[in-house]
Amino acid sequence: MVTVLPFHGLRYAPELVAASLFAPPYDVIDPRQRLAHLAGNPNNIVHIDLGPDQDPAWYAEAARIRDRWLAERVLLREPQPALYGYQQHFAVGDKPYVRTGLLGTVRLAEWGRGIHPHERTRVGPRQDRLNLMRALRAQSSPVFGMYRDPSDEIGRWLTPPAQPDVDVTDAEGVRHLFWPITDGAALGALTAALARRDVVIADGHHRYETALAYRAERRAAEGNPGEQRPYDAVLMYLTSAESDGLRILAAHRVVHAPIADPQALLNALRADFDLLALESAAHLSAAVTQTAPGEIAFGLCLGRAGAWLLKLRDRAAAQRHAGGLPAEIATLDVVALQDMILAPHLGISAQALAHDDSVSYTVNAEEACESVHAGRAQAAFILNPTRIDQVWHAALKGVTMPQKSTYFWPKLLTGLVLNPLD
């Protein structure tokens, strides 16, 4: 149910390829990391993908740098249309994993027409990505999507060659293999197989929404041409939802909104939750992980008010608070946290999450609690990760989860290929 198209990508010249050229997606790079990427290689993709905060002049500078890279043949245009194979080798704890997928351009469609979101987004990042797309007239970072392929019909075409064009290991120890696919039989098989499938966005909702907005803008400016234009598609990575290498980490909530009386908050939570005091915040992750399957539970770090394990006594209460959502969605940990704690007890609505910084997110539970102990935050909620099947069912039902309900890991590299929109 999606149209995947080979395209003439822009890639770094082969003789320049090195790990120092690439970077994670823009939204996981903090200001210190941004400066490190810029200093690490004069051609690092961050030079054109992520600017300093509050600097509207940077977007034009990014376009100038991109144009210079083209003139100096730092970036080269793929001579023939291609899809691209992409494989990542990594470990979670002591267990090794491999995730294999492909990059191509995907014909844009409104949400629900073969392409489905699974979580809500924030307004600010959409405007930043739109400003950049206007300046570059290109997409520099792929959307991350997943499809169903229980028989591995697609995966059999994605075996990496002995010497892929890119073979680098990043700072987190993830090995990335990347290669073009230009064989006609492979391209035909891949595009035909994907045309029969739905795609759920795993990561990059802002980038997809930006591509929709940019398409509308360009079509309006050009009188809505009848033929397809390059800006009618979006750069997207696609992988199988059945892959053992498709991993989700928990995105813990760090609350910055003021909490006037932590003890009063604990007393209020006792109406719905059993509260178990823990010796220290260091025990929160283990306590949450060890809760029974299907049980809704959170760790709560309240600084001087202690560390607590919260267990919901009645799962039906989550559905009552969720305003008619299907049971399998209403009883997700991230939904119950939003509807039963953040909104009613801390005044942090879904609208607030979309527009302000009252809550931040991290996959590191220790880091979340340290923010509270250091006085940089008021509270931290430690969660179990959302499961792949939960994400898929929510998206296909048209239900969007709260922001940052998932953290797919490892992240895709930015800079492997750019999609020009002219």
The token duo for 67 is 């144009």
The pTM assigned to this predicted structure is 0.88
pLDDT tier for residue 319 given thresholds of 50, 70 and 90: confident
Strand-pair category, 297-301 with 407-409:
unpaired
- Tell whether the model's pLDDT for residue 65 goes beyond 80: yes
**Which CATH class name applies to 251-384?**
alpha beta
Report the distance separating Cα 399 and Cα 383, nearest Å. Answer: 20
| Residues facing 85 on adjacent strands | 102, 179
Residue 393 has a pLDDT of: 87
For the chain, the structural domain boundaries read: 4-247+409-420, 251-384
Q: Which pLDDT band, with edges at 50, 70 and 90, does 123 fall under?
A: low
75 pLDDT above the threshold of 70: yes
Q: How confident is the model at residue 350 (pLDDT cuts 50, 70, 90)?
A: confident
Looking at residue 403, its pLDDT comes to 78
- At 210-267, the pLDDT tens digits run 999 999 999 999 999 999 999 999 999 999 999 999 999 989 999 999 999 999 999 9
CB atoms within 10 A of CB 195: 12
Sign of CA dihedral 353, 357, 358, 359: positive
pLDDT digits (tens, 9 = 90+) for 149-190: 999 999 999 999 999 999 999 999 999 999 999 999 999 999
**pLDDT score, position 196:** 93
- Whether the CA torsion 76, 82, 83, 88 is positive or negative: it is negative
Instruction: Kindly state the tokens that stand for 8.
Output: 């003439």
* Rounded distance between C-alpha atoms, residue 370 and residue 69, angstroms: 42
CA torsion through residues 330, 331, 337, 343, sign: positive
Neighbour-count burial of 410, counting CB atoms closer than 10 A to its CB (0-12 exposed, 13-18 middle, 19+ buried): buried
CB 252 within 8 A of CB 405: no
Average per-residue pLDDT in the chain? 93
Of residues 223 and 53, which shows the higher confidence score? 223
